[in-house]
Amino acid sequence: MSTNNEKEVLLSVRHLEVTFYNNKKRFRAVKNANFDIYKGETFALVGESGSGKTTIGRSIIRLNHTSDGEILYKGKKINGKLSKAEQRDVIRNIQMIFQDPAASLNERATIDYCVSEGLYNFHLYENEEDRERKVDDVLNAVGLLPEHKSRYPHEFSGGQRQRIGIARAMVMEPEFIIADEPISALDVSIRAQVLNLMNKFKKERGLTYMFIAHDLSVVRYFSDRIAVIHKGRIVEIAPTDELFNYPLHPYTLSLLQAVPMPDPQIEKAKELVIYDESKRDLSGEKPILQEIRPGHFVFANDREMAEYREKLKEMIAFKKEHPTND
């Protein structure tokens, strides 16, 4: 897990900057983001609303302009100026699943059209029969019936609509899927169904996911590595278990703290921790993302690095003393 050397890098984000302009005001939504996503893994990007997590996702599928840096997909640059053919390639191979299934489906189109839209745009079918077969197959795979094809999105429940959203992405046979909070709008009992479905596709088709979320509890179960983002800045990246065992950045800690645990005794004993950047000691040189343990990166300067190393030692010692907790 920690040595990623042999793994194939599918997507690589280098010094990514995304800036929005509002009249003359400049807003840096993403600040110098760096990370790699390996083939076959689920990479989670976790942060609050406004942290820039969705902006990164949208930049990858070219919905947002990048102002600096590079996004490499299989070693080829996919941001900035591209030829028409290259653009089409990106759009086809990288699909996105959106948060609100009601808003992402055309309410005036039948499910048949919603799912086939990508096939039409890219002529990914030999004849009408072939298209129908593809649509039927994918609907079947997400647990819907062929007779649903003639219906409209409003006739479905939230969970079903999200499955249509997934079908729409899957029918394109993508290699890489960006899932932007795909279960946030869903009921608890349906969340498990959608997560299981996404995992099934990952196993069967060797997909790679970038999972955008604000809730660490879901991410723990679902992802292989996690990046925590705060105000456009990635503050910590680590394999899932590592991040949960040894969270270092104070913002990561406050995020972990904030997730309510389904256990009354733990919850009632919990104290509220609010992360306030202005109250932190930010002296010393500019922090950068540095590797503290293999595969575990944290945004820090040298002074903070020393602190985190100390803390890490404590945590490892604590774990040795309490092995039953493992």
Binding site for other proteins (CB under 8 A): 48-49, 157-158, 187-193, 195-196, 199, 214-218, 220-222, 240, 244-247, 253-275, 311, 314-315, 318-319, 322, 325-326
Retrieve residue 154's tokens. 């409003």
CA distance 53 to 270: 28
Retrieve residue 187's tokens. 């009921």
Dihedral pair phi/psi, residue 18, rounded to 5°: -125, 125
Q: Which is nearer to other proteins, 32 or 257 (CB)?
A: 257
Strands 76-77 and 68-73, sheet pairing: antiparallel
10 three-class SS: strand
CA dihedral 97, 63, 35, 10 (to 10 degrees): 70
Q: Which is nearer to other proteins, 64 or 252 (CB)?
A: 252
Q: Which is nearer to other proteins, 90 or 229 (CB)?
A: 229
Instruction: Name the minimum Å distance from CB 65 to other proteins.
Output: 26
Q: Which is nearer to other proteins, 131 or 230 (CB)?
A: 230
Q: Which is nearer to other proteins, 260 or 284 (CB)?
A: 260
**β-pair partners for 14:** 70
Instruction: Name the minimum Å distance from CB 276 to other proteins.
Output: 11
Instruction: Name the minimum Å distance from CB 317 to other proteins.
Output: 10
Retrieve residue 144's tokens. 């819907």
In this structure, the chain runs to a length of 326
Instruction: Name the minimum Å distance from CB 182 to other proteins.
Output: 13
Retrieve residue 225's tokens. 């590595």
CA distance 174 to 101: 19
Instruction: Name the minimum Å distance from CB 53 to other proteins.
Output: 11
